[in-house]
Structure formats: C-alpha cells, structure tokens
Chain A
Amino acid sequence: MNAFIRAENLTYAVNGRKLIDSVSVGFDPGAFVAIIGPNGAGKSTLLRLLSGELRPSAGRIAWSGEPAEKFSPAQLALRRAVMAQGAALAFPYPVHEVARQGLAVVGRRLPKTQADKIVARALAVSGAQHLSHRNFLTLSGGEQQRARFARALCQLKAAQGHGRFCQALLLDEPTSSLDLEHQLALLGAARAIVASGVTVIAIVHDLNIAARFADRLVVLAGGRVVADGPAAQVIDEALVRKIFRASMRVDRESETGLPIILPQINSGRDIHAQAFLERF
C-alpha cells in the first residue's frame, strides 16, 4: 500500500511507440528487486524513468507518497543513487576521483577526512581499492563497473548524513562485465545494503543470479509487466520459453524451491535457419 517508490500507469512513448506501456509497480523499503526480461523489453527505460532522468509520457511516480516532479535534482540525489550502463568518461580521472564524484552534491559539506574515509570504504567494498590511483580510462570493463559501483555507494553513504529517509540504489546490469568472484561480491554488497533498509532495484540478465539475490522478480516484456513475485513462483519453463524464447530446463532446489535454470542445446530453430547453419 505505502510503497517507498510507486509507479502508477507509467507510460513512456517515443514517436508513438510505447517503450513502457502502463506499468504499475511498487518498491518497498529494504527490498531487493530484480528486473528481468529480454532485450528491448524496456528494462533500462523503466529504470531511467524511476531515476527521474526521463519524464514519463503518462502516469506518475511517487517517492514516499510525494510526486517525483516535486523533487529537485539535489533532493532526488539524496534519495537514490544510480549506476547506469557504461557512459564514456571524457577525461583521465583516477578511480578514487570517479568514486568521489558521488559526493559532488550530497557530500559537498563533508570534512575532507570524512569524505576520504567514505571514498576509501566504498572502493574497498567494491573490490576497487587496489585500483584507486589508476586512470579510469585504462581499466577493463569489469574494473570500471566496480569503480562506478563505488561512486554510487559514496553517494548513498554521504546522503545519510542529511537525515533519515528511505533510499534506493538503481543498478542497470551492474554485473554485465564482472567475473564470477566480483559478481558475487557486488551483489553480496547490495544484499548487505538491503539489510540496512535501502531498496535495491537491479536489471539482471542471469536468471540464476536474479533468483538467488533478489527478494522479488519483476518480469518485463514489450514494455509491460508480465509477472511479478518471488523467484520460486515466477520462474518456470513455460515463462522462460514464452518470454525469453529460450529452451531451458528449470529444476528446483529441494528445500527452497528456488529455480535452477540450465541451458538446453538445440532449441527448435525454424527450418530455414537450420538449413543455413548446416551449409556452414
């Protein structure tokens, strides 16, 4: 009823094409919600609408009951941090300065020692501590993602100095370039933040990861929410086949009922595709 972030009949259209089509969804404080769905389902668009970066064509978003348009960029920055997908950096900043940018507005009045401490801890939590003096532009994709995660953490942490209000962390494919170790580390860090009351909304492609780290999955297809609930209920072979058009075997963990999704080789391709591939 009183969700922290609530979207009602959210629609976003470009040139008459609805990328997001009357989506109503709420996010409770201290919940880890994974948004899943095939390419082009509108996952990133939904996240950009929630962050305030895009204005909805119709519908509304409320933060703790107050309409999102009421908030200035600085007020929004106190309530949510965003880790978007790799935008290019223009100048060769060292990693610790990239992380420190999280403090640009919300941590402006922090004393330097305290700011340094937040930056150092955020880098350590993100597994980017040893990179702190490296040039961001020379890092690998995964290392850059860790630095950007640290920046979002800096912003969340510094914002907590401004009083008590609910916070959200919006992550757009945060683990897309990470190796296994750092995928688990980043999502583990996100879970720990959730435990302290922050809402995490993450776009995730790996269904096994989503099922294990998120409390709830929101399945998006064609700009609409097609399923919403705990992983054990949402994911089955029928949904994976219908929404992702992929033939996967879905087993269950015996105690938790969580799905285990395994790929099946030779999905039923159509006859022309089969013929084309055979002549290779």
Chain B
Amino acid sequence: MTCDLPLSGGQDKRATLALTVAVCACLAAVAFGLCLGATSIPPSRVTSALWRELVLGGPGAAEGEHFIVVGLRLPRVVLGLEIGAALALAGAMMQGLFRNPLADPGLVGVTSGAGLAVAMTIVLGEQIWGGGAQWLHVAALPADAFLGGLAATAFIYVLATRGGRTSMTVMLLAGVALSAFAGAATALLSYISDDRQLRDLSFWFLGSLGGASWGKAAILALALTPALLAMPWLARGLNGLAFGEAEAFHLGLRAEVIKGAAIGLIALAVGTSVAAAGAIGFIGLIAPHLVRLMAGPDHRVLLPLSALCGATLLVGADALARTLLAPAELPVGILTASIGAPFFLWLLLRDAKRSDPT
C-alpha cells in the first residue's frame, strides 16, 4: 500500500546534504581564517603551529608565525565562529518567534538596544564604579548588553504583536524608531566621552573581531550554551507557533513559555555578541534564509544549521576583511552590512511581488 511509504525521506536527504555542505564550508572558512591575513601563512605551517601548541603543550615560542597563528588568529577565529553562530541562531529564533522571515536582531533594534547599553557602560560606567575594578568592567559589559538587548526585544515584541499576530510594518517601523532613539542616545554619550572612550565607542559602531581574546570567547561560549541546550525543545515550539499562538495551544504547547524563552535567548546571544565585537549586522538574516533555501523551514534542522552557517559566514567575512586592504584591516561589520543590506532589499522586493497580485 502506497500510504505506508516513508514520507520524510526526501526531507532527510536534503537536510543531510545541507549539513554536509555547511560543515565543509565551515572547515574551509576556518582554514582561510587561520591562513589569510596581513601575512599569508601556508596551511602546512599553520597545522604544525597548532600541533605544537595544542598537542605538545606549547613551547612558548611567543613570536613570529607561531604567535600570529596561535595567539592572534586562533582566538579570533573561535570568537568569530561563536558570534556568527549566536547571531544566526538569534535571527532564526526571532524569525520563528515573529513568524516572519524578515525579522533580524539588527533590523528591529535589538542590536542598537544592546549597543546603547554598551555605550552607557563604556562612558558612564567609570563614573559610577570608578576606574579601578577592571574585572567589573569585563563582566559588566556583556551583562549590560544582555539587559539592553532584552529590553529592546521585549519592547518590539509587545508593540508589534497583537493577539498572536505580528505586524511586519509595526515591527520594522518600531525597529527604526528604536534604532534612531538608541543611536541618538549613543551619539550623545560619544559627545560627552573622552578620547579613550571615543575610541572604544567607534570600535563598537563599526563592528569588528579585532579585539578577540580567549576571555571573550569564554563568555560567548557560556552565553551560547543555554541556546544550544534548549534548541531541540525550542525547535518543536517554534514549529508549533508557525500557525500562530492559538494553534500552538491546540497542539498542546505553552506558547507563553516558548515566547519568553526565545526572547531571553535572543537577548543573551545578541547582547554578548555586541559586547564582544560590536554591531555586526545581517548575519541573522542571511544565514537562516540560506538554510531555508537548502533544507526547508523545519526549525529542528533550521536552528542548528543556521548556527553553523552563520559561524561560517562571519569567519569567512572576517578573513576577507583582513585581506582586502592588507596590511590595513577593514572592520567586518562594514563588509557584512554592504553584502547584507542589498540582500535584505532583494528579500523585501521579492516578498512584495509575491503578495501583490497585480
């Protein structure tokens, strides 16, 4: 009888293919990230430097190629993987939550909200706590960015969602308003800041992995852990929400719990990313979209693959940003925005054409 044929075979095959492609691309991006830069280092010597450091326990040769690979590029690539994954995951979760493929943490003001919190911490933090406690500064930045991101996400969600339906118009326009407000407040802060603070602020505005360190990588790893652990549960919930909250309830899901968890995880991922590397846009829009094209909209596949795809995109873009103007370095935020903005416009026009019958 034909009705007993397995139905999901084709789907599984597509997901497997997409996973293979994403893993290969990610490995390639990591290789580029370690080999390319102001000085190109051939893969064989990169491998041997990694081997000496990671397997032989590090001979302490803190100079030359060894230092470039292990001391500079490795933490940068690891941080890039984490931030790319965090931003793409936040984008995919946000699109599922808003039930809209055009939602992105950068576009709806979450990044600006987190950024304003970062700017306040940089400029006003020292006046509040005094300049002394360095560790406080290190811990306060991601924590404040998380709170800023959380406030922004909740604000947009409450404004744009009525009775389980999210208005795309309200969401995007509220995002514009929120970004404008956060931008104005950030500009005011930079106006009253001193020279060193101004340098820190402009680093944030541009978005760059230049300040990578193992400490930042560890914070990002901590922030990503709950999102990764919650992923299977959240994926089921977001699939259930695809028909709206009422239908999710009919299926037996607790929509409020899913929404709350998603908002918290988005804020955590975006906040810590912004605290570590500033405003890097459009990864959260592009990565989930590419995965949907390859493997379909099922969040059980979409969430993990988006994380992988976002990690690949950011590490690849960073490698490109370091080589385009070598020995000078382009902030990677400029690169992702100049690729992402036209991509967003294309998505918008395509959707407009589809929904417009004329």
The interface of chain A, by Cβ under 8 A from chain B, is: 48, 51-53, 72-78, 81-82, 84, 87-94, 96-97, 100-102, 104-106, 108, 112-113, 116-117, 119-121, 123-124, 129, 132-133, 155
**7 tightest CB-CB pairs across the interface, nearest first?**
A77-B252, A105-B252, A90-B99, A91-B297, A82-B250, A74-B252, A124-B3
- Contact between A104 and B247 (Cβ–Cβ < 8 Å)? no
CB distance from B184 to the nearest CB of A (A): 33
Is B199 part of the binding interface, using a Cβ–Cβ cutoff of 8 Å?
no
Is B8 part of the binding interface, using a Cβ–Cβ cutoff of 8 Å?
yes
Closest Cβ neighbor of B242 among chain A residues: A90
Q: Which residues of B contact A51 (CB under 8 A)?
A: 250
Pick the contact of B250 from A53, A90, A97 — CB < 8 Å? A53
How many B residues have CB within 8 A of the partner chain?
32
**CA A96 to CA B254, docked complex, whole Å:** 23
Pick the contact of B240 from A82, A104, A124 — CB < 8 Å? A104
Q: Which residues of B contact A93 (CB under 8 A)?
A: 242, 296-298
Closest Cβ neighbor of B7 among chain A residues: A96
- Contact between B236 and A108 (Cβ–Cβ < 8 Å)? yes
CB distance from B152 to the nearest CB of A (A): 22
Q: Which residues of B contact A73 (CB under 8 A)?
A: 249, 252-254
Known: A89-B243, A101-B243, A106-B252. 9 other contacts (CB 8 A): A72-B254, A74-B252, A75-B252, A77-B252, A90-B96, A101-B251, A116-B8, A133-B10, A155-B250
- Contact between A155 and B251 (Cβ–Cβ < 8 Å)? yes
- Contact between A120 and B4 (Cβ–Cβ < 8 Å)? yes
Which residues of B, 1-17, contact A by the 8 Å Cβ criterion? 2-8, 10-11
- Contact between B243 and A87 (Cβ–Cβ < 8 Å)? yes
CB distance from A56 to the nearest CB of B (A): 16
- Write 19 A-B pairs (CB below 8 A) sorted by A numbering: A53-B250, A72-B254, A73-B252, A73-B254, A76-B252, A78-B252, A87-B244, A90-B99, A90-B241, A90-B242, A91-B292, A97-B239, A97-B296, A101-B239, A104-B236, A104-B239, A106-B252, A108-B236, A116-B7
Q: Which residues of A contact B99 (CB under 8 A)?
A: 90-91
Q: Which residues of A contact B3 (CB under 8 A)?
A: 120-121, 123-124, 129
Q: Which residues of B contact A101 (CB under 8 A)?
A: 239-240, 242-243, 251
**CA A92 to CA B251, docked complex, whole Å:** 19
Q: Which residues of B contact A53 (CB under 8 A)?
A: 246, 249-250
Q: Which residues of A contact B252 (CB under 8 A)?
A: 73-78, 104-106, 155
Closest Cβ neighbor of B236 among chain A residues: A104
**CA A105 to CA B255, docked complex, whole Å:** 12
Q: Which of B2, B7, B296 has the most CB of A within 10 A?
A: B7
Closest Cβ neighbor of A148 among chain B residues: B243
Is B101 part of the binding interface, using a Cβ–Cβ cutoff of 8 Å?
yes
Given A97-B11, A116-B6, A120-B3, are A52 and B246 also a contact pair (CB < 8 Å)?
A: no
CB distance from B103 to the nearest CB of A (A): 10
Q: Which residues of B contact A84 (CB under 8 A)?
A: 246-247, 250
CB distance from B243 to the nearest CB of A (A): 5
Q: Which residues of A contact B2 (CB under 8 A)?
A: 129
CB distance from A136 to the nearest CB of B (A): 9
CB distance from B250 to the nearest CB of A (A): 4
Q: Chain B, 72-98, contact with A by CB distance < 8 Å: what is the 0/1 string? A: 000000000000000000000000100
- Contact between A117 and B4 (Cβ–Cβ < 8 Å)? yes
Closest Cβ neighbor of B292 among chain A residues: A91
Given A74-B252, A77-B250, A104-B253, are A91 and B101 also a contact pair (CB < 8 Å)?
A: yes
**CA A87 to CA B249, docked complex, whole Å:** 13
**CA A71 to CA B96, docked complex, whole Å:** 27
Is B100 part of the binding interface, using a Cβ–Cβ cutoff of 8 Å?
yes
Q: Which residues of A contact B247 (CB under 8 A)?
A: 82, 84, 87
CB distance from B91 to the nearest CB of A (A): 14
- Contact between B251 and A77 (Cβ–Cβ < 8 Å)? yes
- Contact between A105 and B251 (Cβ–Cβ < 8 Å)? yes
- Contact between A97 and B298 (Cβ–Cβ < 8 Å)? yes
Closest Cβ neighbor of B100 among chain A residues: A90
- Contact between B250 and A119 (Cβ–Cβ < 8 Å)? no
Which residues of B, 209-259, contact A by the 8 Å Cβ criterion? 236, 239-244, 246-247, 249-254
**CA A96 to CA B10, docked complex, whole Å:** 11
CB distance from B264 to the nearest CB of A (A): 20
Q: Which residues of B contact A123 (CB under 8 A)?
A: 3, 7
**CA A94 to CA B15, docked complex, whole Å:** 14
**CA A100 to CA B7, docked complex, whole Å:** 10
- Contact between B7 and A120 (Cβ–Cβ < 8 Å)? yes
- Contact between B249 and A52 (Cβ–Cβ < 8 Å)? yes
**CA A127 to CA B172, docked complex, whole Å:** 40
Q: Which residues of A contact B236 (CB under 8 A)?
A: 104-105, 108
**CA A100 to CA B101, docked complex, whole Å:** 22
**CA A129 to CA B19, docked complex, whole Å:** 28
**CA A77 to CA B251, docked complex, whole Å:** 6
Q: Which of A73, A89, A94 has the most CB of B within 10 A?
A: A73
Q: Which residues of B contact A124 (CB under 8 A)?
A: 3
Q: Which of B3, B96, B250 has the most CB of A within 10 A?
A: B250
